[in-house]
Amino acid sequence: MSSMTPSAGPVKVLVVDDSVLMQKLMTQIVNSTPGFQVIGVAGSAEEGWDAIQELRPDILTLDLELPGRHGLKLLARVLKQDPLPVLIVSAFGGPGADNTIQALELGAIDFIEKPDGATHTLEGFMKHVAAALQRASASRRMLAAARELAVQQRTAAAAPARPIAAPVPAAHGKVSLIAIGASTGGVPAVQTVMRDAAHLRLPIAVVQHMPAGYTAKFAARLAAATGLDVREASDGDRLRPGMAVVAPGGSKHLEIEERRGELVCLLREAPLVSGHCPSVDVMFHSVARSAGAQAIGVLLTGMGRDGADGLLAMRKAGAATLIQSGETCVVNGMPKAAFELGAAERVIPLDQIGGAIAGLLGERPQQRTA
């Protein structure tokens, strides 16, 4: 298995796909991307596992629809033994969307739809793969740093405990909304925060960078994991306690408006903002206008800087603003950008964000169950 310590030379990529055509196409794309090189291909979960042990890749690209439908099983096995950046490259129509969300929950860092000649062209696919490889490389460095931190923490286990994050002061005024933004690595991160804050019964609005066709599935799985009423946002939805909305992937931005004392979802078509639609920045800016000091903003793992400017607007409006700590991010891009702007009131490890939100409300954190 990979040592997870970034080294000099090309980033080594293993391609696991049962299609010889896709193996050749992925090899061509990866090898033409500066800084990356395919070191092997495999056509089944068993071959993939053996190749991982022998070749020690830095990044794995994985088709979920392997013979016997064992793509998810291989992913779980890989991530359990020694976390490795995994890019899902598969066909996602129909039931495939559920498999993709499950893969992201398990810890795959990203997913790319195979070209179908219609909505997903070969040219677009090649661009997506190249961009995803860069995200995977960035996550590889973060995973290496996280592993080194874990070793340091185990070594220092006998020393007196020190708080990882500064205590979060109680929020001023009544909190009416939690706004969460995330990108690469965000599916399990959002789930963790929402699960840990579910007992507070506050309305939650989420922007997770994800294409159309997946956000409804993501919302359904969040509902099952948290017990909240989670749905893909619709124009005009009124946010209520115990309810959460996920911005639909596609061509519309999610904004939150105040109408006669209620917070209401607004979906509007607009160009990309901060490189994305839906954009975390758009949602955060709208929350700053509509909820001001009665909101809590949370910016989680992700590549780029979407959400940083919006989180700063929320902080200037009096909202409490939290970002995920770098060592717990898959990619510390968006939180780092927010920190550098001065948008973050507190930097919190992922597994403590729910407790920090409870602390803002003067509540006790929910006890985790195994």
Task: Report residue 244 as tokens.
Answer: 């959460």
Residue 362 burial (CB < 10 Å; 0-12/13-18/19+)? exposed
Q: Catalytic pick from 18, 58, 196, 306? A: 306
Known active-site residue 279? no
115 vs 259: CA distance, rounded Å: 43
Q: Catalytic pick from 199, 209, 253, 276? A: 209
Q: Catalytic pick from 183, 274, 279, 286? A: 183
DSSP string, 166-212: PPPPPPSS---EEEEEE-TTHHHHHHHHHHHHGGG---EEEEE---T
- The neighbouring-strand residues paired with 111 are 88
Known active-site residue 183? yes
Angle between helix axes 186-197 and 350-360 (nearest 10 degrees) is 30
Phi, psi (5° rounding) for residue 305?
Answer: -135, 15
Known active-site residue 306? yes
* Residue 233: its H or E element: none
**What's the length of the chain?**
370
- The neighbouring-strand residues paired with 320 are 296
Q: Catalytic positions, please? A: 183, 209, 306
